[in-house]
């Protein structure tokens, strides 16, 4: 567990330093080791989004909303991911879900 904790600390440091691609690599390792850790999954999706790995972000976010359907923020980021990928109409559905759950735009 100490190794995973060190990886998490490094990944969050890289994320905060806006080194998203490097952070994504570490969060992917953590997500594989601890697939039920919601926070890591969300960090991974956001790191993919910010590093323009939109396909991976979408895939991760779809898995998050399937596993944790009450996560309004995940719906919001999924909407933004689809919009950024040029699929705004598809993203609109998820934005409406997020807003209905109380997320502000």
Tell me the domain boundaries of the chain. 2-100
Mean pLDDT of the chain: 96
**How far, in Å, are 4, 28, 46 from residue 15 at the CA level?**
16, 13, 9
- In the CATH scheme, what is the homologous superfamily, with its name and number, of domain 2-100? Tetratricopeptide repeat domain (1.25.40.10)
Confidence at 2, pLDDT banded by 50, 70, 90: confident
Confidence at 105, pLDDT banded by 50, 70, 90: low
Q: Is this model's pTM higher than 0.85 or not?
A: yes
Q: What is the pLDDT of residue 104?
A: 80
Give mean pLDDT, residues 48-57.
98
What percent of the chain is predicted at pLDDT more than 70? 98
- Return the DSSP state at 17: T
Sign of CA dihedral 65, 66, 67, 70: positive
């Amino acid at each position: 567990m100490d190794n995973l904790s060190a990886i998490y600390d490094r990944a969050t440091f890289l994320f905060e330093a806006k080194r998203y691609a490097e952070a994504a690599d570490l969060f992917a390792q953590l997500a594989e080791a601890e697939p039920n850790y919601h926070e890591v999954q969300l960090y991974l999706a956001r790191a993919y989004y910010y590093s323009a790995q939109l396909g991976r972000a979408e895939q991760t976010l779809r898995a998050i909303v399937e596993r944790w359907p009450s996560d309004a923020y995940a719906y919001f980021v999924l909407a933004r991911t689809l919009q950024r990928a040029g699929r705004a109409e598809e993203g609109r559905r998820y934005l409406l879900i997020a807003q209905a759950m109380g997320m502000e735009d």
